[in-house]
Amino acid sequence: MEATDRKILHLLAADGRMSYTDLGKATGLSTSAVHQRVKRLEQRGLIQGYGAALNHAELGLPLTAFVAIRPMDPSQPDDCPERVSGFTEIESCWSVAGDDSYILKVRTATPAALEELLAQIRSAANVSTRTTIALSTYYENRPVTEG
């Protein structure tokens, strides 16, 4: 990938609402050239979408936790992501190497709500869980750096 495309990706990662005109000024390209490049980056799958950064505490979900899950019976089909996909409190699900099979990032309103969610996850997916509660978030979803 060439440097101009990397610069466009970096700029959009920092501000997904940046206009084609501003992208053009930052990269030295015309607005139409930037528009074409962005469309090409989207088509190639390098840009997968645009989103808003939310204030979860203000939305009533101040508690963030990371839940490691491990199947109770490893001989059963590995369908844990599908089994827990309906829980709206689960923000992310990563397959991981190590003792655990998946790490879930969850957001809840209270410790009691987290406790209930954990019980529901264990029941729905037939897994054991190990939970870490985040006390503070210093940065999250940082954009990739140029280079």
Angle at 142 between CA 70 and CA 93, to 5 degrees: 20
Angle at 97 between CA 93 and CA 103, to 5 degrees: 25
Angle at 116 between CA 113 and CA 119, to 5 degrees: 150
The answer to whether the beta carbons of residues 98 and 63 sit under 8 Å apart is no
pLDDT of 97: 96
pLDDT of 71: 93
The answer to whether the beta carbons of residues 121 and 87 sit under 8 Å apart is yes
H or E element: which one contains 131?
strand 127-133
pLDDT of 77: 85
pLDDT of 145: 65
Contacts of residue 94, defined as CB under 8 A and 6 or more positions apart, other chains included, come to: 102, 103, 104
The answer to whether the beta carbons of residues 55 and 74 sit under 8 Å apart is no
Mean pLDDT by 10 residues, the chain (147 residues): 90 91 95 96 93 91 97 89 96 96 97 98 96 94 69
